[in-house]
Amino acid sequence: MSQVKIGVLVSGSGTNLQSIIDSINSGDINGKITVVISNKKDAYGLERAKQHDINAVFVNEKDYNNIESFNDSIIEILKENKVELVVLAGYLKILSSKFIGLYRNKIINIHPSLIPSFCGKGYYGLKVHEAAINYGVKISGASVHFVDENADTGPIIMQETVNVDYNDTSESLQQKILKVEHKLLPLAIKYYCEGRIEVVGRKTLITSK
């Protein structure tokens, strides 16, 4: 089976990107990252890509008249790099309907909560963990899902929980969940690259090899 060509979109430090790179380098993922794209010029994720000789591209939203043309530019870069799977690894921009339509069930996102809790518009970064702690939940976690036209509403691929302790802060909970994210996202990508994820309506099935 040939390697799946992966494009990763980042907005920040790229720790999830690093976990994917590490899993590819160890042979766990039968894929190759052909491009990393960021909407932030100083995103450390771009530097991580360069350190591993991966094409790193900054796309400035201010250079475009609207969100559609901004997304069209990213689509063209993905096509130029023959991307078959798009991974959002801490990417904080909304994708256009055209983008999602072109890559239906080929865009994977990681979210730091147990969807459908603490997700959707406005829930990103520490805000997710603040909301979980303020609500008083006893467990939280991470969710890997396919991306559809709305925020965090696509079919869920995998989830894993962590305990929320009484003395947890948003920062300490974030660190707990990051450890889960760094395991869960590469695993979901591994299964995708092996052709083991089936989507039926809102449900996904991970098949055996």
Q: For 5-30, how does the pLDDT look when each residue is reduced to its tens digit (9 = 90+)?
A: 999 999 999 999 999 999 999 999 99
The partner residues of 205 in beta bridges, in order of sequence, read: 198
* pLDDT value of position 70: 97
Known catalytic residue: 111?
yes
What are the boundaries of each domain within the chain?
1-103, 111-209
**Is it the case that residue 1 has pLDDT exceeding 90?**
no
In the structure, what pLDDT confidence band is assigned to residue 63 with cuts at 50, 70 and 90? Answer: very high
* CATH C-level class of 1-103: alpha beta
CATH superfamily of the domain spanning 111-209? Formyl transferase, N-terminal domain (3.40.50.170)
- Which candidate in 111, 129, 145, 182 is catalytic? 111
155 preceded by cis ω (within 30°)? no
* pLDDT value of position 45: 97
Query: How confident is the prediction for the chain on average, in pLDDT?
Result: 97
By C-alpha distance, which of 84, 90, 114, 120 is closest to 102?
84
Predicted model pTM:
0.96
Alpha helix stretches (DSSP H) within 52-157: 67-80, 97-102, 126-135
**Is it the case that residue 205 has pLDDT exceeding 90?**
yes
